[in-house]
Each structure stands twice: as C-alpha cells, then as structure tokens.
Amino acid sequence: MADKHKHVDEVSGVDTTGHEWDGIRELNNPMPRWWVYTFYATILWAVCYAIAYPSWPMLTEATKGVLGYSSRAEVTAELSAAKAAQASNLERIASRTVEDIMADPQLKQFAISAGASAFKVNCAQCHGSGGAGGKGFPNLNDDEWLWGGKPEEIYQTIAHGVRHQGDGETRVSEMPAFADMLASEELRATAAYVVSLTGIPSNPALVETGEQLFTDNCASCHGADAKGSREFGAPNLADAIWLKGEGEQAIIDQMRSPKHGVMPAWLQRIGDPVVKELAIFVHSLGGGE
C-alpha cells in the first residue's frame, strides 16, 4: 500500500487515514478543532486541579495542594458558624430557668428542636427514638409520671437520674422483694386484686383476700387507693399503664423479686442547658403536665 496516505475516497472526496480492513477504508474526518481544544483544556484543568487541591494519595496521606483546602476544615468552619448562630439562644437558655424558657415561644421552640436532637443522641437508646419506651423503660409520651411531669420535675429527673449511684440528689425508690414475706397464694391473690383495680375481671375470691394483703403490704407506698405516690416514685397501679408488663404474672414477678430501672444522671455529662432543652422537649411530647 504505497499510496495509503494519498488515497482519496471517491464518493465523499475525503482523504482516508490509510487504515483498511477487508477493503473498507477509514475516512480521515478528524474531530472538530474546538472539541480537541476543549479536550486539551480539560487536561490542563486536571493538572491545575491536582496542584491546587489535595489529590495524589501518598503513603500516609494525600498531597496537600497549594490552596491548602481540606474538607474537614470546611466542615469545622461550617460547624463553628452554626454554633455562632446559636450562641445567643444557648446563652439565654443557660441563664434562664426552665419556666422562663417555656414562657418565651421562640426560645421554647429552639429548646424543643435542640432537645429533640439531644434526645436522639442520649435518650433514644432506652426510651426509643419517639420516646415511647418499652417494658421497663417508661413511655415519655403518656400522662403517667413516676416522678412528676412538670418541666421542672422532668428537669430534676434528667439532671440527677434515677437510682444513679454517686449523685446525692438522684431519684431513689426501692420495692421490697416479697418472695420471702408472702406465700405464692398470697402473691397471686394480691396480683388478682391489683389487676381488678383497672377494671379487668378477676377471680372474686382471690380479689377479696388480695385487698387485705394489699392494704397490709403495699398501701404504704402505692397508697390505699393504689394510685401510687410520686414522693416515693411508686407507680399508679390503678391505671392502664404498666411499666414492668401487663397481667397477673408480670405483677407476681415484680412482687417476688422486683426489678429496678436505673437512669444515669445527665447534668455532669451534658451540662445544664442541654438538660433544660431535653426537659422541655420531653414535656412537649404530649403528656407534659
């Protein structure tokens, strides 16, 4: 193919590249110049970019780039900007009481939003992301409060925890284990009585003996009417909410060897403003008093 660079296609009048496969020749239609220049420009761009920004992976870290850009620094700057924007609200929350914060609608809304995110970080592990709790973990949406549902009372509970060793102001209550004090039949009778308080039909014969047993053993903490006492953190037994499980067997289990939940004291861990935000958020869930 001596003339391979000279060959001109007859039909189109265009040079061929000299490439030939089974008699088919490739027309020499180069790419448009603007396209080629654009391509060169992208290469140039890539080189400049690689110099200006972190790009080449080295043994321990990537090259720094002459502009000194880093995405971490950018995030840090954004975070500090966000913190600065919240500063005045946080200051006001720190300097006011829960009651005063509740009185300011704008500040209250801020506290609720801040509390909601703090709740997901610190509280959702036990109380659930929606605050609905579970067996042994109180539902924070309902209207039963072991230690009180006013914002200040909620604040106190969060700040110092429940049965948290090492905090002098922690909420403490303990139910005695009745396994040694009452016989199995007596436990069953008491449970039957407690269940009957909520309107669920139970064995009438057992209920009668149960009532006497309740008055003798339980009324001191749970009250004669079984409505509980916030002073001792004694739950209301005459309502529809059961922290340790529903039904006679759950009640018997709890009487025999009571389980006691523990909530950490949060004041030292997350600070006073966040505890205030959490208290206001929990109060806003719908059951606050």
Partner 1 sequence: MLHKPAHKAGSVERLEAEPVNAARHRKPLYEKRRKIFPKRAEGRFRRFKWLVMLVTLGIYYMTPWIRWDRGEHAPDQAVLIDLSARRFYFFFIEIWPQEFFFVAGLLVMAGFGLFLVTSAIGRAWCGYACPQTVWVDLFLVIERFIEGDRNARMRLDAGPWTLHKIRKRVAKHAIWLVIGVATGGAWIFYFADAPTLLKSFAALQAPPAAYMTVAILTATTYVFGGLMREQVCTYMCPWPRIQAAMLDENSLVVTYNDWRGETRSRHAKKAAAAGEVVGDCVDCNACVAVCPMGIDIRDGQQLECITCALCIDACDGVMDKLGRERGLISYATLSDYAANMALATDGGATTIDPRRVRGANGAFVAGIRHFNWRTIFRPRVLVYFGVWVLVGLGLLYALVSRDRLELNVLHDRNPQYVVESDGSVRNGYMIKLLNMIPEQRRITLALEGMPSAHMRIAGRAQGDGRSFSVAVDPDKVTSLKVFVTVPKAKLAEAEEGISFRAEDPSSHERDVYRANFNQPETAK
Question: Under a CB-based contact definition with an 8 Å cutoff, are residues 147 and 162 in contact?
Answer: yes
In angstroms, give the least distance from the CB of 16 to partner 1.
14
Q: Tell me the sheet residues that pair with 134.
A: 137
Smaller CB separation from partner 1, 33 or 72: 33
Nearer to partner 1 among residue 91 and residue 143 (C-beta): 143
Alpha-carbon distances, residue 68 vs 39, 63, 65 (angstroms): 27, 10, 6
How many CA atoms are closer than 13 Å to the CA of 174, on its beta-carbon side?
6
Check residue 168 for interaction with partner 1 (CB under 8 A).
no
Please state at what angle helix 272-284 crosses helix 151-160, rounded to 10 degrees.
Answer: 130
Residue 165 engages partner 1 in binding (rule: CB under 8 A): no
Q: Is 27 strand, coil or helix?
A: strand
Q: Which is nearer to partner 1, 162 or 285 (CB)?
A: 285
> Is residue 287 near partner 1 by the rule CB under 8 A?
yes
Determine which residue in the list 21, 22, 32, 59 makes contact with partner 1, applying CB under 8 A.
Answer: 32
Q: What is the 8-class DSSP label of residue 59?
A: S
Residue 3 buriedness (CB in 10 A; 0-12 / 13-18 / 19+): exposed
- Based on CB atoms, which residue is closest to partner 1, 179 or 241? 241
**Residue placing its CB nearer to partner 1 in the complex, 23 or 30:** 30
Q: What would the x/- binding string for partner 1 be over residues 210 to 249, using CB under 8 A?
A: --------------------------x--xxx--------
Phi, psi of 161 (to 5 degrees): 75, 180
Q: Is residue 17 within the footprint of partner 1 (CB under 8 A)? A: no
Phi, psi (degrees; rounded to nearest 5) at 25: -105, 150
- If one asks whether residue 143 binds partner 1 (CB under 8 A), the answer comes out as yes
Binding site for partner 1 (CB under 8 A): 13, 29-30, 32-33, 105, 128-132, 139, 141-144, 198, 236, 239-241, 284, 286-287
